[in-house]
Chain A
Amino acid sequence: MKKSPPYSIAEDWFHTQGWTPFPFQKKTWEAYLEGKNGLLNAPTGSGKTYALWFPIVLDYIRENPDYRKKHSKGLKAIWITPLRALSQEIRQSAERIIEDLGLPLTVGIRTGDTSTRERSAQRKSMPDLLITTPESLQLLLATKGYPKTFRDCRAVVVDEWHELLGTKRGVQMELALSRLKMIAEKMRIWGISATIGNLEQARQVLLGPESEAYHNSVMIRARLNKNIRVISIIPEEIETFPWRGHLGLRLLDRVIPIIRESKTTLIFTNTRSQCEIWYQKILERYPELAGEMAMHHGSINKDTRIWVEEAIRNEELKAVVCTSSLDLGVDFAPVVSVIQIGGPKGVARFMQRAGRSGHRPGKESVIYFLPTHAIELVEASALEQAVAKNAVEDRIPYLSSFDVLVQYLTTLAVSEGFLPSEIYREIKSTFCYQGITEDEWRWLLNFLVMGSQSLQSYDEYKKVEVDADGRLVVNNRGVAMRHRFQIGTIVGDAHLTVRYQKGGYIGSIEEYFISKLTPGDVFTFAGRNLEFIRVKEMQALVRNSTKKTNKVPSWMGGRLTLSAQMSQLLREELYSANLPVSERSEAIRCLDPIFRRQEQESLVPGPDTFLIETFKTRDGYHHIFYPFEGRFVHEAMGSLLGYRVSLLSPITFSLAFNDYGFELLSDQEIDIQAIIDNDLFSTAYLLDDLQKSLNSTEMARRKFRDIAVISGMVFTGYPEKGVKMKHLQSSSQLLFEVFKDYEPDNLLFLQAYRETFEHQLEEGRLRLALERIGRQEIVWKPCSKPTPFSFPIITDRLREKMSSEKLADRIKKMTALLMK
């Protein structure tokens, strides 16, 4: 060690602020200055930014003793944030330290919002400390001369690593780090993560399993134990409380006293549409709250969001209706109460939201849970248990995401070109690609250079070329330009920006919603009623309207599933309905009338029973199964069972599911006894059967959408740039079909299926669930009408289909129906 670490500088600074550093902050400073990498487990608003900005700055002081006189130029540290909205705040905390210590360092931000001018200025002279996003970091790697830019960089901090971990943006980070490790030899890598179930794995993924960086790393936990109290809002009259629904407006009046009694209340909703509706409805019923209430979600324009955040900080607002957009970052000390509307579907998320209240060490956090339908009260009770047991879920990292790798390799080919042997070693050291085979690697290179295995003489495939030194490079400027553009696209459903015809940006909406509107329709968005005029390029033009409307944009991204831990707690709560009243929780006691109603037709299952209900309505024959495992597992189990049933005799189903169970709806009656007799819940041939169920193709088709965009096979166009790319537009759907018919061994096509099984169908959980059912007694209840448990499922309109009937027979049936 060169000199004794200058902690005193940091400690002094803390004392002048009137603070004392937390032990976790000191530990982090120490470890960092010893040259360690690491993962810091600390919640939002705990002072985690100071835990890492400080040692970065202290390190600089140590390395440059005459720092006040001399300033060595160049990038010294990179701070990665998943949300560009957080970058301002991170900058402020860095600048505060730099100013107070009188350092000559500069801080810059580079995100999708950074102007072209500022970006090119940065290219000439990088700030000392750079705050950026994973996408913008990739873009830097797509710039010529990037090795020089990063050469002297001494630190990368990946903030909110838990948010990136289970996503492809996380994979992007793994790849970028694998490259940076090589070009910046003195670089330390640090991650900051909230509590998740697999923290140790999170550290491995960040640093690379078995890597040198991993072996020279530490895990530091903040352990700021905070008490969280969950209060469920229980409807006064359960008899009239709805059996289905997701809005929860029935209990709106109960929210008002909470708002009135608290200085500031955050009301968390699960989707942006729900957020819009709640905001509207509260104002309709309590107009006196106008001016004291605001809304915050990801589709609202940035300025408004920043204004809301400021207003919360300045205690100018009584209540804010929001979505997960307020989950991260942004410290609001004044928030007193937090209300969660509807099941949060995850314990970690719920606790994080709860942490928004009583946001001071030692203070108790209070979160109110407002159920949106009767059965959700079971969830309320399970949540209380989960919080008490700190049962947070895992974030499952992706494996072998070839689409991200294709994008990354193209990125390197665009900037400096790359030698396959060199890059292969690097990517092989990452968590995501630890299992890649040489065959797969060769296939990927072949795909980049020849567009898969084409040997046709008249093929004009052009993307990456091999130069005389054996480097893979992109020479075509058009390819390079389109690629750079594509990196910045955050994958998701196609979005349109919403603008006033006279100008003025309001926000963005999924194309799917706009496509259902006709000009003249009025919809609610960003708290206003807007009349849809027309779509122009990638914009929806609107004007204000005074008309009332019930149309609210829906966001498909809002569909979450219950985690394994949460499902188990949920089942346990439900089973407790069979216990003596005194042993039940308040929510379960309150549900008693519903349970009695359920028992009239059917039963409330216990730990040893697996319930199946059947009944007939106008829609057809309903067959309902209750595994209580979360919607993803139910989707998988439904397709599996549907497929297996269809082997017994030709039949066509549609499948509906929610977090509690799934339904097979058909125009024919299924013989449930045959399901039991033939052991159709068996785990034998599970993967094979899943693959064959038509449903997996449908799901893979959806997965393929992202894959096609990320890997650059579908070009999303240049929004608002007016560049004509008409002849290059195709849907990923169409592409999926051609791969299915003509190139089914394409790795990217196969990836869609693999992702379906691993991430969507959660094959691992499915197997466990089937094993559990195998130990339970299957109870079949033929009912005369829908039961309370079945109601939320059978009224779900989003359905999957599957069939083993001949196409012609199905058409005949449908045609007959049309004639009636």
Chain B
Amino acid sequence: MTTQTLSIAGQHLELHPSGVIYWKEQAALLISDVHLGKVTHFRKFGAAVPHRAIEQNFESLDQILFHFRPGTVCFLGDLFHSSMNSEWHRFEAWVKKTEARFLLITGNHDIISPLKYEALGITLVPELLWGPFLLTHYPEEREGYFNLSGHIHPAVRLRGHGRQSLRLPCFFKNKHQLILPAFGAFTGSHILEKSQEDEVYAIADAAVIKI
């Protein structure tokens, strides 16, 4: 595992190849766009997406929580992809056995009733001001804060000699904000064009590499 640690406003953020950020000072794990329930939603409507992809999401979550042992887990939106389905019960079981404080910044996909989340002890907020950071689902710029967000599922396209090209999910950073890649196993990605001021940290196998 090769990670990258950024120092922003005096705080240390570790970018991990699983697509999460670990905020050292607060022992907080930031995870974006897990899209739980998506596989089940598709299956419910007759599209036989492999069942194994569901377990993969929970296995990845377990691994990353075991690795960092965070005090707080903050989801940056699109935690649950669809309306209620049976995968919710799988999620409930997972939350109950996991020791951490859970926060969810609601995204456009999070349409399940807040009461359901609150019953699990998960706090829902539309956005979160935390230290020097503004945590949101949609990327935005706000005076005086550095924005951490998701929603876009950023990826980068690299080109090389011999007209080669590669597409990799990435952390996408500019002066005021940092966008996280999608964590979920059954999510796509969207290519962003890198400009001079942007910094891109691509995920290549088990490493985060600065482009």
**Cβ contacts under 8 Å, B7 to chain A:** none
Which residue of chain A has the shortest Cβ distance to B207 in the bound complex? A808
For residue A73, CB closer than 8 A to chain B, the reply is: no
- A462, A483, A801: which contacts B164 (Cβ < 8 A)? A801
Which residues 684-742 of A have a CB within 8 angstroms of B?
712-715, 727-728, 730-731, 733-735, 738-739, 741-742
**Does A803 contact B164, Cβ atoms closer than 8 Å?**
yes
B119 at the interface (CB under 8 A from A): no
Contact of B42 among A666, A728, A814, A817 (CB under 8 A): A728
Cα distance A447–B46 in the bound complex, in angstroms:
10
Residues on B with C-beta less than 8 A from A743 are 50, 52
Interface with A: B69-77, B98-106, B185-193, which one? B185-193
| CA gap between A600 and B53 in the complex, in Å | 59
Binary per-residue interface labels of chain A (741-752) against chain B in the complex, 1 for a CB within 8 Å, 0 otherwise: 111001000000
List chain B residues, Cβ under 8 A from A667: 160-162, 164
State whether B48 touches A451 (Cβ < 8 A). Answer: yes
Q: Is the CB of A730 within 8 A of B161?
A: no
Most buried by A among B46, B56, B85: B46
Q: Which of B109, B162, B211 contacts A620 (CB 8 A)?
A: B162
Closest approach, in angstroms, between the C-beta of B111 and any C-beta of chain A? 9
A22 contacts the other chain (CB 8 A): no
What is the distance, in angstroms, from A262's C-beta to the closest C-beta of chain B? 45
Q: Is B82 an interface residue (CB 8 A)?
A: yes
A468 CB–B CB distance under 8 Å? no
Q: Is residue B202 within 8 Å, beta carbon to beta carbon, of the partner chain? A: yes
- Asked if A714 and B47 make an inter-chain contact with CB atoms under 8 angstroms apart, the answer reads yes
Judged by a CB distance under 8 angstroms, whether B97 is at the interface is no
Given A734-B186, A811-B158: A619 and B46 interface contact (C-beta under 8 Å): no
- Chain B proximity of A444: nearest CB distance (Å): 11
- Shortest CB-to-CB span from B173 to chain A, Å, is 16
CA of A801 to CA of B160, assembled, Å: 11
Q: How many of chain B's residues touch chain A, expressed as a range?
A: 35 or more
Interface residues of A in 434-485 (CB under 8 A from B): 447, 451-452, 454, 456, 458-463, 476, 478-479, 482-483
Q: When chains A and B are docked, how far (Å) is the Cα of A19 from the Cα of B158?
A: 68
Min CB distance B9 to A, Å, is 27
With A458-B87, A460-B86, A817-B160 known as contacts, the answer to whether A730 contacts B45 (CB < 8 A) is no
Residue of B nearest to A748 (CB): B48
Given A741-B185, A742-B53, A814-B164, verify A461-B44 contact (CB < 8 Å).
yes
Residues 781-820 of chain A: 1 if any B CB is under 8 Å from the residue's CB, otherwise 0? 0000000000000000001010100011011011101100
Residues B36-79 near A (CB distance < 8 A):
38-53, 56
B151 within 8 A of A: no
Cβ of B116 under 8 Å from chain A: no
- Nearest A residue to B37 via CB reads A727
Q: Which listed residue, B38, B86, B187, touches A458 by the CB 8 Å rule?
A: B86
In the assembled complex, the Cα of A130 lies from the Cα of B45 at a distance in Å of 34
CA of A373 to CA of B188, assembled, Å: 41
CA distance A476 to B185 in the complex (A): 28
- How would residues 87 to 116 of chain B score, 1 for a CB under 8 Å from any chain A CB and 0 otherwise? 101100000000000000000010000000
Instruction: Out of A728, A799, A813, name the residue touching B47 (CB < 8 Å).
Output: A728
Asked if A452 and B50 make an inter-chain contact with CB atoms under 8 angstroms apart, the answer reads yes
- Closest residue of chain B to A746, judged by CB? B50
Given known pairs A619-B163, A620-B161, A738-B53, the reply for A459 and B40 (CB within 8 Å) is yes
- Give the distance to chain A from B141, nearest Cβ to Cβ, in Å: 24
Interface residues of B in 195-211 (CB under 8 A from A): 202, 204-205, 207, 209, 211
B87 — nearest CB in chain A belongs to which residue?
A458
Q: B142 interface residue, CB < 8 Å from A?
A: no
- Chain A contacts of B164 at CB under 8 A? 652-654, 667, 801, 803, 810, 814
Centre residue among B158, B159, B165 by max chain A CB count within 10 A: B158
Q: A665 at the A/B interface (Cβ < 8 Å)?
A: yes
Contact-size category for A: 35 or more
CA distance A621 to B52 in the complex (A): 43
In the complex, whether B1 has a CB less than 8 A from a CB of chain A is no
CA–CA, A89 and B204, complex, Å: 59
Query: Which residues on B sit within 8 Å (CB–CB) of A451?
Result: 43, 46, 48, 51
Q: Which residue of A lies closest to B51 (CB)?
A: A454
- In the complex the two chains form, is B165's CB within 8 Å of A738's CB? no
Contacts of A665 in B (CB 8 A): 162-163
Q: Distance in Å from the Cβ of A486 to the closest Cβ of chain B?
A: 10
Q: How far is the CA of A727 from the CA of B56 in the complex (A)?
A: 20
Could you say which residues of chain A place their CB within 8 Å of the CB of B45? 462, 478-479, 482, 715, 728
Beta-carbon contact of B162 and A459 below 8 Å? no
Q: What is the chain B residue whose CB lies nearest that of A665?
A: B162
Shortest Cβ distance from B210 into A: residue: A815
Contact (Cβ within 8 A) A811 B51: no
Of all chain A residues, the one with the shortest Cβ separation from B85 is: A460
Q: Which residue of A lies closest to B166 (CB)?
A: A810
**Chain A 62-102 against B: per-residue CB contact (8 Å), 1 yes, 0 no?**
00000000000000000000000000000000000000000
User: Nearest-CB distance from B79 to chain A (Å)?
Assistant: 14
Residues A479 and B46 in contact in the complex (CB < 8 Å), given A807-B205, A810-B164: yes
Inter-chain CA distance A679–B51, complex, in Å, is 44
CB pair A712–B47 under 8 Å, yes or no, is yes
Q: How far is the CA of A574 from the CA of B166 in the complex (A)?
A: 38
Please provide the chain A residues from 654 to 695 with a CB less than 8 Å away from any CB of chain B in the complex.
654, 665-667
CB closest chain-B residue, reference A818: B211
- Contacting pair B188 A459 (CB below 8 A): no
A712 to B170, CA, bound (A): 31
Contact A727–B41 (Cβ < 8 Å): yes
B81 within 8 A of A: yes
Given contacts A451-B48, A460-B85, A728-B45, contact A813 B160 (CB under 8 A): yes
Cross-chain contact of B51 among A459, A482, A654, A807 (Cβ < 8 A) = A459
Task: Known A619-B163, A730-B42, A814-B158; judge A713-B48 contact (CB<8 A).
Answer: yes
Shortest CB-to-CB span from B80 to chain A, Å, is 11
Expressed in whole angstroms, the minimum distance between the Cβ of B112 and any Cβ of chain A is: 12
B44, B82, B202, B204: most-surrounded residue (chain A CB, <10 A): B44
Report chain A residues within 8 Å CB of B51. Answer: 451-452, 454, 456, 459, 742
Q: Are B90 and A458 in touch, CB under 8 angstroms? A: yes
Q: Which of B50, B53, B162, B165 has the most CB of A within 10 A?
A: B162
What A residues does B86 contact at CB under 8 A?
Answer: 458-460
A727 to B80, CA, bound (A): 11
Residues of A within 8 A of B163 (CB): 619-620, 654, 665, 799, 801
In the bound complex, CA of A743 to CA of B52 (Å): 8
Residues of B within 8 A of A621 (CB): 162
A447 and B87 alpha carbons, distance in the complex (Å) = 20
CA distance A800 to B176 in the complex (A): 37
- Closest residue of A by beta carbon distance from B89: A458
B160 close to A810 (CB less than 8 A): yes
Residue ID in chain A nearest B45 by CB atoms: A728
Near A by CB (< 8 A), chain B positions 125-178 give: 158-166, 168
B194 → chain A, closest Cβ, in Å?
8
CB distance from B184 to the nearest CB of A (A): 11
Complex Cα spacing A463 to B202, Å: 39
**Set of chain B residues within 8 Å of A728, measured between Cβ atoms:** 41-42, 45, 47
Instruction: Give the 4 A-B residue pairs with the shortest CB-CB distance, closest first.
Output: A667-B161, A742-B52, A451-B48, A743-B50
Besides A734-B188, A742-B51, 4 new A-B residue pairs in contact (Cβ under 8 A), listed by A number: A728-B47, A730-B188, A739-B50, A808-B205
Sampled A-B contacts (19; CB under 8 Å): A458-B86, A459-B40, A460-B43, A461-B44, A478-B45, A483-B46, A652-B160, A713-B47, A727-B83, A730-B47, A730-B186, A741-B50, A801-B165, A807-B166, A808-B209, A810-B158, A810-B164, A811-B209, A815-B211
A interface with B by C-beta (< 8 Å) = 447, 451-452, 454, 456, 458-463, 476, 478-479, 482-483, 619-621, 652-654, 665-667, 712-715, 727-728, 730-731, 733-735, 738-739, 741-743, 746, 799, 801, 803, 807-808, 810-811, 813-815, 817-818
